[in-house]
């Protein structure tokens, strides 16, 4: 009776739970690893994993008499290895997912030195730059208009927090640390642009409009 219960109820339940936990561990670990390593390596890692799984399947198919203990042990070892990789990756942190986009912008079409990486930190605001002044959390000075064409956009951050200056619909992105200044040179088409600070939570009080003419 006790044995029957074990065989008919307990074992299937345990197997199911084990399967679910195993799949969860595999999925989480793989995603951690793939998000941490560089993009090219991620592709290779995924391919290698797929090849590994395929190899095991072929092995098992070719040798049906392989003992279930050996197979189980192999699975557990693989699972532990994967978990370790996942934990290490989770601690290393995710790679900057916007890295690729920034690099593209730099060399891409119409490369006019747009502010891909938050502009250059500068010691002094370049002469003739259209300058925004920020404190926490507002722009205390912002040009109402800028001449169209090539312009230097600067952010003079006098606050105690990092702030950015982003234009909607134009490739303007300047980022200045607390108490620092940054500038970027861009080419602007005539129009009215909404600018804001894209630090989460800042836009509510750090937004405005500037006309390019």
Q: Which residues bind Cu ion (CB under 5 A)?
A: 163, 197, 199, 202
CA distance 75 to 26: 11
Query: 156 by DSSP, 3-state: which?
Result: strand
CB of 148 or CB of 199, closer to Cu ion: 199
Q: How far is CA 89 from the centre of its chain?
A: 14
Indicate the residue among 130 and 174 with the shorter CB distance to Cu ion. Answer: 174
Residue 176 or 212 with smaller CB distance to Cu ion: 176
By CB neighbour count within 10 A (0-12 exposed, 13-18 middle, 19+ buried), where does 58 fall? Answer: exposed
Query: 128 vs 201, which CB is nearer to Cu ion?
Result: 201
| Whether the Cβ atoms of residue 147 and residue 130 lie closer than 8 Å to each other | no
Q: How far is the CB of 32 from Cu ion (least distance, A)?
A: 31
Nearest approach, Cβ of 106 to Cu ion (angstroms)? 24
Question: Which residue carries 């002044």 as its tokens?
Answer: 133
Q: Taking the complex as a whole, how short is the minimal distance between the CB of residue 159 and Cu ion, in angstroms?
A: 7
Count of CB atoms situated within 10 Å of the CB of 61: 9
**CA dist., res. 32 & res. 172, Å (int):** 32
Give min distance, CB of 120 to Cu ion, in A. Answer: 19
Nearer to Cu ion, 125 or 199 (CB): 199
Among 212, 176, 175, smallest CA distance to 194 is for 212
Least distance to Cu ion, CB of residue 163, Å? 3
Measured from the CB of residue 160, what is the shortest distance to Cu ion in angstroms?
11
Nearer to Cu ion, 28 or 161 (CB): 161
């Amino acid at each position: 009776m006790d044995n029957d219960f074990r065989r008919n109820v307990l074992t299937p339940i345990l197997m199911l739970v084990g399967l679910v936990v195993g799949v969860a561990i595999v999925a989480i670990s793989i995603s951690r690893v793939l998000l941490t390593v560089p993009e090219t390596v991620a592709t290779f890692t995924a391919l290698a994993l797929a090849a590994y799984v395929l190899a095991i399947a072929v092995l098992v198919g070719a040798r049906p008499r392989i003992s279930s203990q050996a197979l189980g042990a192999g699975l557990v070892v693989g699972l532990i290895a994967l978990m370790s990789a996942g934990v290490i990756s989770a601690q290393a942190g995710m790679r900057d997912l916007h890295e690729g986009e920034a690099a593209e912008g730099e060399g891409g079409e119409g490369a006019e030195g747009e502010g891909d990486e938050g502009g250059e930190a500068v010691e002094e605001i370049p002469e003739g730059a259209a300058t925004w002044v920020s404190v926490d959390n507002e722009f205390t000075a912002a040009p109402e208009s800028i001449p169209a064409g090539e312009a230097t956009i600067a952010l003079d951050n006098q606050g105690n927090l990092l702030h950015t200056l982003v234009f909607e619909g134009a490739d303007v992105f300047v980022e200045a640390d607390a108490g620092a200044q940054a500038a970027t040179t861009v080419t602007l088409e005539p129009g009215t642009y909404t600018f804001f600070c894209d630090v989460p939570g800042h836009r509510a009080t750090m937004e405005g409009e500037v006309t390019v003419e």
